[in-house]
Amino acid sequence: MRLFPRSLRFWTALVVLCWWCALQVAPAAAGLAPSRSSGETRIASSRDADLVIVERALENKIVAQKLRDYGVAPADVQLKLASVSDRDLHTLASASKGLPSGGDDALGVIVTLLVIVILVLVILKLMNKKVVVR
């Protein structure tokens, strides 16, 4: 016994086939979305970009500690940065690009080491090796 009559199955199959054919010939429209600023930005020139790079480098805990050790207050640093020439600021920004931006990156190092250890353990387990910690 069939659940659906033959004519219902035929018309259902025909509608589904037509639907699929219509989907295959429908044109796809794709394109890049235009970029727009999501608010006010304070980077309007290359000097502002260099200033942001230097400020991020100064947020590093090691750099801030060294400046405090030399007796330089953070307010003095900001005043000096405002009066530095464009060429000197660019030189300082180029030199500080290798430093981590913002605080301490110890958490990233710890997470990376844990991922490496877990990966090594998984590879050893897949190779049927025993991991013994004594």
Long-range contacts (CB closer than 8 Å, 24 or more residues apart) made by 16-19: none
Residue 28 lies in a domain: no
Number of domains in the chain: 2
Q: Are residues 90 and 128 in the same domain?
A: no
Q: Are residues 98 and 108 in the same domain?
A: no
Residue pLDDT, tens place only, 95-113: 777 655 555 566 777 877 7
Tell me what pLDDT residue 100 has.
57
- Taking residues 33-46, report their average pLDDT: 68
Residue 97 lies in a domain: yes
- Taking residues 58-79, report their average pLDDT: 80
Residue pLDDT, tens place only, 1-29: 467 788 888 999 999 988 888 777 766 77
Q: Which structural domain, as residue segments, surrounds residue 127?
A: 104-134
Q: How far is CA 43 from CA 40, 50, 51, 52, 100, in A?
A: 9, 9, 9, 8, 20
